Amino acid sequence: MMKNGDRANLRLMARLERADWWTVRRAANLKPTTYTCPFCGGKLPALQEHVLIAPEGDTSRRRHAHTKCAVAARKAGRLPSRDEWRRTQPREPSWPARLLSRLRGR
């Protein structure tokens, strides 16, 4: 059974754009700005320790998030890294395999 908090988290995750992989890095900012965490919807003062998440490394689309929220999303598999994503992709055959394939095709 889904709890109210779970439903809210699903709605917030729906606001994150679709991306195959994400970069996550620590953020430090002295700007007097408040951001909204894309995971919990909570307020995030720029002076508080937090992280930047960027879809497929595109920093022009970065989002500020609570560190705990980003860690929880990573553990749940919702923020895969580029390396994690690449491990799931089909690999191109090695050059010896391609050579053997060509030789057999003749």
Question: What would the pLDDT profile of 12-46 be if each residue is shown by its tens digit?
Answer: 454 678 889 999 999 977 888 999 999 999 999 98
Residues 82 and 21: beta-carbon distance below 8 Å: yes
- Kindly tell me if the per-residue pLDDT of 5 is higher than 60: no
Domain spans, the chain:
4-105
Which pLDDT does position 3 carry in this prediction? 53
Tokens of 10: 């699903």
Q: What is the pLDDT of residues 57-101, one digit of tens each?
A: 898 999 999 999 999 999 998 899 989 888 888 888 888 888 888
Residues 57 and 82: beta-carbon distance below 8 Å: yes
Which pLDDT does position 36 carry in this prediction? 93
For 23, phi then psi, to 5°, come to -100, 145
* pTM for this prediction: 0.69
Sign of CA dihedral 7, 64, 25, 86: positive
Alpha helices in the chain (DSSP H): 4-15, 67-75, 82-87, 95-105
